[in-house]
């Protein structure tokens, strides 16, 4: 019986921004996607955890009084979803 090979990789949302410090840098996204594709090509199962890039945190937003904590939390979760879609589509 052949042993399964699995890896779990975690990317912070900031990692996708590259030197810009915000957003998603295409060259970084292409690099990450090519590395993941190479693992899959070599029959390695890949799990991916992606962050939101600390665009906003509910606690910080609430302290400023502009945004409710729950709204800030939701904004951070949406950033995570955006980054996940970018990785998926690359």
Answer whether residue 63 shows pLDDT above 80: no
Tell me the β-bridge partners of 50: 11
CB 80 within 8 A of CB 24: no
Q: What is the pLDDT of residue 39?
A: 96
Q: Is 61 strand, coil or helix? A: helix
* 16-45 core/surface letters (b: 16 or more CB in 10 A; e: else): bbbeeeeebbeebbeebeeebeeeeeeeee
User: Measured between alpha carbons, how far is 52 from 37 in angstroms, rounded to an integer?
Assistant: 22
Query: Where do the domains of the chain lie, and which CATH numbers do they carry?
Result: 6-89 (3.40.1160.10)
Q: In whole angstroms, what is the distance from residue 16 CA to residue 9 CA?
A: 14
Tens of pLDDT, residue by residue over 20-59, are: 777 899 999 999 999 999 999 999 999 999 998 777 766 6
């Amino acid at each position: 019986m052949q042993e399964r090979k699995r890896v779990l990789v975690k990317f912070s949302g900031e990692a996708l921004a590259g030197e810009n410090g915000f957003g998603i840098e295409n060259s970084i996204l292409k690099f990450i996607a090519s590395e993941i594709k190479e693992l899959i090509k070599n029959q390695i199962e890949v799990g991916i955890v992606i962050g939101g890039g600390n665009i906003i945190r509910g606690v910080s937003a609430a302290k400023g009084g502009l945004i409710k904590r729950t709204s800030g939390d939701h904004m951070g979760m949406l950033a995570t979803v955006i980054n996940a879609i970018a990785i998926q589509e690359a």
